[in-house]
Amino acid sequence: MMLEVRDVSCGYGKKMVVEKITLNVVKGEILCLLGPNGVGKTTFFKSILGFLKLMGGEILLDGENISQIPKSRFAKVVGYVPQAHTPPFPFSVLDVVLMGRTAHLGLFALPSQKDVKIAENALEMLGVSYLKDRVYTEISGGERQMVLIARALTQEPKVLIMDEPTSNLDFGNQIRVLERIKRLSEKGLAVIMTSHFPNHVFLCSSKVALMQHRSFLVGNADEIVTEKNLKSAYGIDVKITSAMDQKGNIIKACIPLIN
Protein backbone atom coordinates (compact mmCIF):
# COMPACT_ATOMS: atom_id res chain seq x y z
CA MET A 1 0.00 0.00 0.00
CA MET A 2 1.43 3.35 -0.97
CA LEU A 3 -0.09 6.82 -0.86
CA GLU A 4 1.75 9.22 -3.13
CA VAL A 5 1.22 12.95 -3.14
CA ARG A 6 2.77 14.55 -6.21
CA ASP A 7 3.14 18.32 -6.52
CA VAL A 8 -0.20 18.88 -4.83
CA SER A 9 -1.59 22.40 -4.45
CA CYS A 10 -4.88 22.99 -2.70
CA GLY A 11 -7.02 25.63 -1.02
CA TYR A 12 -10.43 27.25 -1.07
CA GLY A 13 -11.97 28.88 -4.14
CA LYS A 14 -9.14 30.82 -5.73
CA LYS A 15 -7.12 31.01 -2.50
CA MET A 16 -4.19 28.59 -2.64
CA VAL A 17 -3.24 27.50 0.89
CA VAL A 18 -0.81 24.67 0.18
CA GLU A 19 1.53 24.76 -2.78
CA LYS A 20 3.31 21.92 -4.52
CA ILE A 21 3.63 19.30 -1.81
CA THR A 22 5.28 16.00 -2.63
CA LEU A 23 5.49 13.08 -0.20
CA ASN A 24 4.65 9.43 0.07
CA VAL A 25 3.72 7.00 2.81
CA VAL A 26 4.01 3.24 2.52
CA LYS A 27 2.71 0.28 4.54
CA GLY A 28 4.06 0.34 8.08
CA GLU A 29 5.18 3.99 8.05
CA ILE A 30 4.03 6.82 10.30
CA LEU A 31 4.37 10.25 8.77
CA CYS A 32 3.93 13.09 11.23
CA LEU A 33 3.00 16.45 9.76
CA LEU A 34 4.19 19.42 11.82
CA GLY A 35 3.59 23.08 11.15
CA PRO A 36 2.29 26.26 12.74
CA ASN A 37 -1.40 27.10 13.12
CA GLY A 38 -3.12 28.01 9.88
CA VAL A 39 -0.36 26.73 7.60
CA GLY A 40 -2.71 24.30 5.84
CA LYS A 41 -2.38 20.88 7.48
CA THR A 42 -6.14 20.25 7.70
CA THR A 43 -6.66 21.70 4.22
CA PHE A 44 -4.12 19.22 2.90
CA PHE A 45 -5.93 16.35 4.66
CA LYS A 46 -9.28 17.48 3.25
CA SER A 47 -7.72 17.30 -0.20
CA ILE A 48 -6.39 13.78 0.31
CA LEU A 49 -9.84 12.73 1.48
CA GLY A 50 -11.46 14.26 -1.61
CA PHE A 51 -13.46 16.90 0.34
CA LEU A 52 -11.57 19.60 -1.60
CA LYS A 53 -10.74 19.56 -5.28
CA LEU A 54 -7.00 19.75 -6.00
CA MET A 55 -5.71 22.99 -7.52
CA GLY A 56 -2.73 21.13 -8.97
CA GLY A 57 -0.85 17.85 -8.84
CA GLU A 58 -2.21 14.39 -8.15
CA ILE A 59 -2.68 11.88 -5.34
CA LEU A 60 -2.24 8.20 -6.03
CA LEU A 61 -3.23 5.20 -3.97
CA ASP A 62 -1.22 2.17 -5.09
CA GLY A 63 -0.65 3.93 -8.40
CA GLU A 64 -4.34 4.75 -8.96
CA ASN A 65 -5.41 8.39 -9.03
CA ILE A 66 -7.76 8.85 -6.05
CA SER A 67 -10.13 10.97 -8.13
CA GLN A 68 -10.86 7.78 -10.13
CA ILE A 69 -11.45 5.55 -7.07
CA PRO A 70 -15.14 5.05 -6.19
CA LYS A 71 -15.98 6.56 -2.78
CA SER A 72 -17.15 3.20 -1.42
CA ARG A 73 -13.78 1.55 -2.23
CA PHE A 74 -11.80 4.56 -0.97
CA ALA A 75 -13.71 4.44 2.34
CA LYS A 76 -12.72 0.82 2.88
CA VAL A 77 -9.04 1.65 2.52
CA VAL A 78 -8.58 5.14 3.99
CA GLY A 79 -9.74 5.98 7.52
CA TYR A 80 -9.95 9.48 8.97
CA VAL A 81 -9.93 10.81 12.52
CA PRO A 82 -11.09 14.44 12.35
CA GLN A 83 -9.76 17.22 14.57
CA ALA A 84 -13.05 18.02 16.25
CA HIS A 85 -16.39 16.37 16.06
CA THR A 86 -19.69 17.89 17.03
CA PRO A 87 -22.02 15.07 17.89
CA PRO A 88 -25.42 15.52 16.23
CA PHE A 89 -27.43 12.90 18.16
CA PRO A 90 -27.11 11.15 21.51
CA PHE A 91 -25.87 7.85 20.06
CA SER A 92 -24.25 5.32 22.35
CA VAL A 93 -20.46 5.10 22.12
CA LEU A 94 -20.73 1.59 20.62
CA ASP A 95 -23.08 2.88 17.90
CA VAL A 96 -20.62 5.67 17.02
CA VAL A 97 -17.76 3.16 16.80
CA LEU A 98 -19.91 0.80 14.71
CA MET A 99 -20.36 3.60 12.16
CA GLY A 100 -16.79 2.74 11.19
CA ARG A 101 -18.17 -0.47 9.63
CA THR A 102 -20.48 1.45 7.25
CA ALA A 103 -18.13 1.14 4.27
CA HIS A 104 -18.07 -2.65 4.71
CA LEU A 105 -21.84 -3.13 5.00
CA GLY A 106 -24.24 -3.49 2.11
CA LEU A 107 -26.87 -0.82 1.57
CA PHE A 108 -29.41 -0.94 4.47
CA ALA A 109 -27.56 -3.90 6.02
CA LEU A 110 -27.36 -3.99 9.81
CA PRO A 111 -24.04 -4.62 11.57
CA SER A 112 -23.47 -8.32 12.29
CA GLN A 113 -22.11 -9.86 15.48
CA LYS A 114 -18.70 -9.86 13.77
CA ASP A 115 -18.97 -6.08 13.20
CA VAL A 116 -19.91 -5.56 16.85
CA LYS A 117 -16.91 -7.66 17.90
CA ILE A 118 -14.56 -5.58 15.71
CA ALA A 119 -15.96 -2.38 17.25
CA GLU A 120 -15.62 -3.77 20.79
CA ASN A 121 -12.05 -4.87 20.08
CA ALA A 122 -11.13 -1.37 18.90
CA LEU A 123 -12.50 0.13 22.13
CA GLU A 124 -10.64 -2.47 24.15
CA MET A 125 -7.40 -1.89 22.29
CA LEU A 126 -7.56 1.79 23.19
CA GLY A 127 -8.39 0.94 26.80
CA VAL A 128 -11.83 2.59 26.72
CA SER A 129 -14.23 -0.40 26.76
CA TYR A 130 -15.81 1.11 29.85
CA LEU A 131 -17.30 3.83 27.62
CA LYS A 132 -19.16 1.34 25.40
CA ASP A 133 -22.68 1.96 26.70
CA ARG A 134 -22.23 5.65 27.55
CA VAL A 135 -24.00 8.36 25.56
CA TYR A 136 -21.49 9.92 23.14
CA THR A 137 -22.73 13.48 23.80
CA GLU A 138 -22.16 13.00 27.53
CA ILE A 139 -18.50 11.96 27.57
CA SER A 140 -15.47 14.26 27.78
CA GLY A 141 -13.60 15.74 24.79
CA GLY A 142 -10.64 13.42 25.37
CA GLU A 143 -12.92 10.38 25.67
CA ARG A 144 -14.64 11.41 22.42
CA GLN A 145 -11.27 11.58 20.73
CA MET A 146 -10.51 8.01 21.81
CA VAL A 147 -13.92 6.93 20.49
CA LEU A 148 -13.26 8.57 17.11
CA ILE A 149 -9.93 6.76 16.89
CA ALA A 150 -11.76 3.49 17.74
CA ARG A 151 -14.30 4.29 15.01
CA ALA A 152 -11.52 4.75 12.45
CA LEU A 153 -9.83 1.48 13.53
CA THR A 154 -13.16 -0.34 13.23
CA GLN A 155 -13.12 0.62 9.58
CA GLU A 156 -9.98 -1.59 9.30
CA PRO A 157 -8.29 0.84 6.90
CA LYS A 158 -4.93 0.38 5.22
CA VAL A 159 -4.15 4.09 5.53
CA LEU A 160 -5.16 6.11 8.57
CA ILE A 161 -5.24 9.91 8.43
CA MET A 162 -5.42 11.56 11.83
CA ASP A 163 -5.78 15.28 12.42
CA GLU A 164 -4.20 16.02 15.81
CA PRO A 165 -5.23 12.68 17.35
CA THR A 166 -3.75 13.59 20.72
CA SER A 167 -4.93 17.21 21.02
CA ASN A 168 -7.58 16.61 23.71
CA LEU A 169 -5.82 13.82 25.50
CA ASP A 170 -4.17 13.92 28.89
CA PHE A 171 -0.42 13.32 29.20
CA GLY A 172 -0.81 9.55 29.71
CA ASN A 173 -3.41 8.99 27.00
CA GLN A 174 -1.30 10.94 24.48
CA ILE A 175 1.50 8.45 24.91
CA ARG A 176 -0.83 5.43 25.04
CA VAL A 177 -2.45 6.50 21.76
CA LEU A 178 0.99 7.01 20.15
CA GLU A 179 2.05 3.56 21.39
CA ARG A 180 -1.04 2.00 19.84
CA ILE A 181 -0.56 3.85 16.57
CA LYS A 182 3.00 2.55 16.51
CA ARG A 183 1.82 -1.06 17.12
CA LEU A 184 -0.74 -0.73 14.32
CA SER A 185 1.91 0.57 11.94
CA GLU A 186 4.09 -2.42 12.84
CA LYS A 187 1.20 -4.62 11.65
CA GLY A 188 1.23 -2.79 8.29
CA LEU A 189 -1.01 0.26 8.72
CA ALA A 190 0.23 3.43 6.99
CA VAL A 191 -0.43 6.52 9.12
CA ILE A 192 -0.37 10.22 8.35
CA MET A 193 -1.02 12.37 11.40
CA THR A 194 -0.59 15.96 12.48
CA SER A 195 0.76 17.01 15.82
CA HIS A 196 1.72 20.23 17.52
CA PHE A 197 4.32 18.41 19.59
CA PRO A 198 7.69 17.76 17.92
CA ASN A 199 8.41 15.23 20.68
CA HIS A 200 5.68 13.00 19.23
CA VAL A 201 7.82 12.73 16.11
CA PHE A 202 10.74 11.41 18.15
CA LEU A 203 8.46 8.94 19.94
CA CYS A 204 6.79 7.25 17.01
CA SER A 205 7.33 8.62 13.52
CA SER A 206 9.30 7.02 10.77
CA LYS A 207 9.00 10.20 8.70
CA VAL A 208 8.23 13.83 9.33
CA ALA A 209 7.02 16.66 7.14
CA LEU A 210 7.45 20.22 8.35
CA MET A 211 5.02 22.56 6.63
CA GLN A 212 5.71 26.29 6.63
CA HIS A 213 4.25 29.13 4.60
CA ARG A 214 7.13 29.15 2.17
CA SER A 215 8.78 25.79 2.54
CA PHE A 216 7.97 22.13 2.93
CA LEU A 217 10.58 19.72 4.27
CA VAL A 218 10.24 15.93 4.40
CA GLY A 219 12.72 13.50 5.89
CA ASN A 220 13.45 11.54 9.04
CA ALA A 221 13.13 13.05 12.51
CA ASP A 222 16.86 13.71 12.93
CA GLU A 223 17.05 15.61 9.66
CA ILE A 224 13.89 17.68 10.05
CA VAL A 225 13.29 18.24 13.78
CA THR A 226 16.30 20.45 14.40
CA GLU A 227 16.69 23.56 16.57
CA LYS A 228 17.09 25.68 13.44
CA ASN A 229 14.00 24.30 11.66
CA LEU A 230 11.80 24.58 14.77
CA LYS A 231 12.92 28.18 15.30
CA SER A 232 12.07 28.92 11.69
CA ALA A 233 8.65 27.19 11.86
CA TYR A 234 7.44 28.30 15.28
CA GLY A 235 9.56 31.39 16.02
CA ILE A 236 10.86 30.13 19.35
CA ASP A 237 14.20 28.93 20.63
CA VAL A 238 14.34 25.19 21.23
CA LYS A 239 16.98 22.87 22.62
CA ILE A 240 17.14 19.31 21.28
CA THR A 241 18.44 16.97 23.92
CA SER A 242 18.48 13.21 24.45
CA ALA A 243 17.90 10.67 27.21
CA MET A 244 18.02 6.90 27.55
CA ASP A 245 14.78 4.94 27.82
CA GLN A 246 14.23 1.83 30.01
CA LYS A 247 15.49 -0.43 27.19
CA GLY A 248 18.71 1.52 26.70
CA ASN A 249 17.53 3.27 23.52
CA ILE A 250 18.44 6.91 23.06
CA ILE A 251 15.32 9.07 22.78
CA LYS A 252 15.59 12.64 21.58
CA ALA A 253 13.43 15.35 23.07
CA CYS A 254 12.76 18.92 22.28
CA ILE A 255 12.71 21.54 25.05
CA PRO A 256 11.25 24.98 24.35
CA LEU A 257 13.20 27.86 25.89
CA ILE A 258 11.72 31.03 27.32
CA ASN A 259 13.85 34.11 26.68
Compute the least distance from the CB of residue 46 to ligand ATP, in Å. 8
Compute the least distance from the CB of residue 104 to ligand ATP, in Å. 29
Compute the least distance from the CB of residue 73 to ligand ATP, in Å. 26
Compute the least distance from the CB of residue 45 to ligand ATP, in Å. 8
Separation CA 97–CA 119 (nearest Å) = 6
Separation CA 65–CA 78 (nearest Å) = 14
Q: Which residues are near ligand ATP by CB under 6 A?
A: 12, 17, 35, 37-43
Separation CA 195–CA 214 (nearest Å) = 19
Query: For residues 17 and 209, which CB has a smaller minimum distance to ligand ATP in the complex?
Result: 17
Query: For residues 121 and 199, which CB has a smaller minimum distance to ligand ATP in the complex?
Result: 199
Which residues of the chain form beta strands (DSSP E)? 2-12, 15-26, 30-34, 56-61, 64-65, 78-81, 159-162, 190-194, 207-211, 216-219, 238-244, 250-256
Q: Cα–Cα–Cα angle for 176, 177, 180, nearest 5°?
A: 90
Query: For residues 42 and 232, which CB has a smaller minimum distance to ligand ATP in the complex?
Result: 42
Query: For residues 40 and 157, which CB has a smaller minimum distance to ligand ATP in the complex?
Result: 40
E strand or H helix that includes residue 71: helix 71-77
Q: What residue type is 235 in one-letter code?
A: G
Compute the least distance from the CB of residue 145 to ligand ATP, in Å. 14
Torsion from C-alpha of 7, 4, 81, 49, nearest 10 degrees: 60
Query: For residues 17 and 30, which CB has a smaller minimum distance to ligand ATP in the complex?
Result: 17
